[in-house]
Structure 1
């Protein structure tokens, strides 16, 4: 069951607006409400935040705007909550603050914070539950708005406030044949040996069903020690794999930096083995595709199909799906309790990094990506080439609109341009003995051919709510740590489609700042390969690990790769969320049409 048609309650509290009847008016709600939520400055809220006020008998209403915050006033709590739900689903609001006067005698106001459920689960914050609107179940977007009537926008039979049900969007379904992760540790090497021996005794003659149900860490509840070992294994192979696992002693916990690949890394069904098998990954992909509107279902269908209607290398599929997969993988790693010290994206992957760094909201990022695709398809066909040579070696070969598209490593450079000129350059390079590989792309990204698209994007990006990064975020264009000027500049984000990607210089800066574990959150391991050529990684100061396989494989290959990456992060000294990890072999999404309130496994943390 997809969460995209549901609205989540992420926070609930009571606000006292005053003891006298004269203070129990809707007009006096916004100020105390924002103070209670800790949002003294509305400009720090998401751009599409709306305050809904309902159930106040006094004739006094708040203004339609409170310090820049839109305010909707409804006669009953039920109408306020239902209107908030419908506007969230219609994408006219991204965050709803619903204040209702449930106890007129005391003047106490109940405040609930509402979000689209898939986005709330993807971001890993607390979720109290979802609104149960039986009479509008299954409606979303504009179809729900078609029932609006009158000033309040809601029909008279919707006075009663909807019930908040627990969020349960999956079922327990232990995978008895697939891979799972086992981790264990010791205070020293003899202690780790003893724990491993106990684990092997536990595994003797253990039924496959029981194996899948074992805790992630054994013994359960024990504090982790510095000597650590792990096994990504199956029920059948577990004894041999546990016995053969190499223990490592963690002396220095290298922090994690996330890398996000762009165009050229995509392939059919990339990361599909995680879809409907990990709640955070699934919710994140669904949230992104839902924000794509009517294109979302077709993009999902092509992603999961052996015979897509539009090929994966077409910009109309490559860029939306790369954004969805990269973003979902990033959210999955964050759900394990990892807090990255740096983010770096390559080309389209930089937009994912910007989203996770807080520069742009998810809805705005999806809008930016869609605008990018819209303008790209207007440009005459072109492509990209990967050449095993340094930038300075390739400059004499450039002709027409062919340009240096990306500097990825010392001897790894990409060229881009229109089809004709690019083909001529490729022929000359091959004739001179250079290794040239066509990158899967149908548009000449990062070349002057994209200039008309860049100009159009700058105009469309001017209305976005861009903010300073909340996490260290390295620019793949300047090659430096992202500054305020670049982050807030529509021109900077528009230039992405024409300018050279300086991935290698940006990686230099990142690895000069600290010794880190680089985790590539995307398909094909392209950035991992570039990173492993870097001197800091070659000498062992830093390291690089991919989340997905190097080439297309089976769904089980996807899950095994992610678990292997998690094991590596844990062996570096990071104490990961064991429950979040275990869902990869104990969780499945419900079939379509299943009631959201059925007793199944929660996909997000409950909180009061």
Structure 2
């Protein structure tokens, strides 16, 4: 990549390494010389002293000069695991600046929106529209789900283009479909078809919502009634509830009266609750994919295990995710049991990063988020 290949604000990754302090300084100088000449920075020669910085063309020289260097431990750099968020992480205008400035991200997002065919331009228009002018609000599943997929996938493709090869990927709810697409289990067209089928099926379900509560599932059990259920177990005493609007509001009022800490999640559908059962059959009928072997493991947030070939090809497995509980916390704990990991949230916001910080392995310093 040369300076002419990117727009002035586009994100880029610079890397260099050296065998000792003098070698590191010389390698950093060679990168600076290439930037001044508008040439491609040299590929780093492996060495224990390494530096890296994400920057832009306008700031590259300053950021390069100020970037710290670190010594890689004898075992090599930490393996990277990507965390891909789902419904609730979306926000108005998310990543639109990155779309304008970063060609790799933009190309990946365009690929996703093109796979939505006639709906793609309406999704794009609402993404860039002023909040009051969007035809469909961002928290509606018809916008949140496609745009979260596009942003998560675009960020994943950007990281891969920088040479980051994850040892594992873990998605939360709809993020699991993105994880499968990044790993090559599904093509983008197939993954979008899975999301489209689920969104259309969910649209037929009466309105509902989701609620984050600082309590364990056992503590919340006495409050559950009707179709309100545990939607996600995200971390220790970090649980989400979901259900139809009126029933969920009644449960929220009881929790508040009893002094529970809670907040609504940005959703207009009761995902991961019994209220979504009518949508499961429709989503199952809409499934049309021919999965391929994964390029890197996809850990399911529903089973806690790496995705199997049988699950990947099961229409029932993907459709059931609309109504089944997400076990992100236990799945992340199982991922961290596999050894030291650098956790990278690959989506808008820091929802999954904040949940990861509640994991004992992260808090003890055995992994970083």
TM-score (norm. length: structure 2) = 0.89
What secondary structure, in the 3-state scheme, does the structure 2 residue paired with 1:286 have? helix
Local SS of the residue matching 1:275: helix
**What is the Cα deviation at residue 487 of structure 1?**
2.0
Matched, 1:533 2:358: yes
Instruction: Work out the CA distance in 1 between the residues paired with 2:36 and 2:254.
Output: 57
Is 1:482 matched with 2:307?
Answer: yes
Q: What is the 5 A alignment of 1:129-208?
A: 172=5, 175=8, 182-193=14-25, 198=29
Partners of 1:399 and 1:283 in 2: CA distance: 46
User: Aligned-pair RMSD on alpha carbons?
Assistant: 2.7
Q: CA, structure 1 residues 466+192, in 2 after alignment: closer, same or farther (shift >3 Å)?
A: closer
Would you say how many aligned residue pairs link Structure 1 and Structure 2? 362
- Cα–Cα, structure 1 residues 173 and 326, in superposed 2: closer, same or farther, change >3 Å? closer
Q: Shift of residue 277 of structure 1?
A: 2.8
The answer on whether the counterparts of 1:388 and 1:434 sit within 8 Å (CA) in structure 2 is: yes
Q: CA deviation at 1:186?
A: 2.2
Q: Deviations over 1:359-418 (max 9, x none)?
A: 332212111111111111111110001111122111111111110000111121110000
Q: Is the 8 A contact 1:360 1:466 kept in 2?
A: yes
Please give the secondary structure, in 2, of the residue aligned with 1:358: coil
Q: Report the secondary structure of 1:543's partner residue.
A: coil
In 2, the alpha carbon distance for the partners of 1:466 and 1:211 equals: 42
What are the residue-to-residue correspondences of 1:391-430 with 2, within 5 Å?
391-430=217-256
1:143-176 Cα shifts (integer Å, max 9, x gaps): xxxxxxxxxxxxxxxxxxxxxxxxxxx974652x
Tell me which structure has the larger Cα radius of gyration. Answer: 1
Contact 2:16/2:43, CA 8 A, preserved across alignment: no
Shift of 1:184: 3.5
SS in 1 for 2:145: helix
**Mapped pair 1:365 → 2:184:** no
- Residues 93-104 of structure 1 aligned to structure 2 (within 5 Å): none
Quickly say closer, same or farther: Cα 1:178–1:521, change in 2 above 3 A: closer
| Residues 472-506 of structure 1 deviation map (CA, whole Å, 9 limit, x = unaligned) | 11111112222233222211111100000000111
Establish whether residue 248 from structure 1 lines up as the match of residue 73 from structure 2.
no
Query: Could you tell me whether the CA contact under 8 Å between 2:17 and 2:44 is conserved in 1?
Result: no
Residues 1:519 and 2:308 are matched in the alignment: no
Distance 1:433 1:226 in 2: 52
Please give the alpha-carbon distance, in whole angstroms, between the structure 1 residues aligned to 2:99 and 2:36: 19
The aligned residue for residue 271 of structure 1 is 95
| Superposition pairs of residues 441-456 of structure 1, within 5 angstroms | 441-456=267-282
Compared CA separation, residues 310 and 298, structure 1 to 2 (3 A): same
d(CA) in 2 for partners of 1:221, 1:183: 8
Question: 1:297 and 1:179, CA in 2 relative to 1: closer, same or farther beyond 3 A?
Answer: closer
Runs of at least 5 residues in structure 1 that lack an aligned partner in the other structure: 1-169, 204-209, 545-608
CA distances 1:90-143 after superposition (whole Å, capped 9, x unpaired): xxxxxxxxxxxxxxxxxxxxxxxxxxxxxxxxxxxxxxxxxxxxxxxxxxxxxx
- CA shift, 1:213, in A, is 5.7
Write the deviation string for residues 534-579 of structure 1: whole angstroms up to 9, x where unpaired: 12222222222xxxxxxxxxxxxxxxxxxxxxxxxxxxxxxxxxxx
* 8 Å contact kept, 1:181–1:216: no
Answer whether contact 1:180 1:212 (CA < 8 A) is retained.
no
Q: How does 1:169-568 map to 2 (within 5 A)?
A: 172=5, 175=8, 182-193=14-25, 198=29, 217=41, 220=42, 223-232=45-54, 238-239=61-62, 244-251=66-73, 252-307=76-131, 308-461=134-287, 463-467=288-292, 469-544=294-369
Change (3 A) 1:374 1:513: same
Counterparts of 1:469 and 1:416, CA distance in 2: 32
CA distance in 2, matches of 1:513, 1:225: 26
1:255, 1:340 within 8 Å by CA — same for their partners in 2? yes
Distance in 1, Cα, partners of 2:362 & 2:145? 29
User: Any gaps of 5 or more consecutive residues in structure 2?
Assistant: none
> Any idea what the Cα deviations from partners look like across 1:208-227, whole Å, max 9, x if unmatched?
xx96765575xx45624221
Question: Could you state the TM-score of these two structures normalised by the residue count of structure 1?
Answer: 0.55
1: CA distance, partners of 2:189 / 2:279: 21
CA distance in 2, matches of 1:236, 1:345: 33
Pairwise CA distance, 1:296: 0.6
Change (3 A) 1:231 1:334: closer
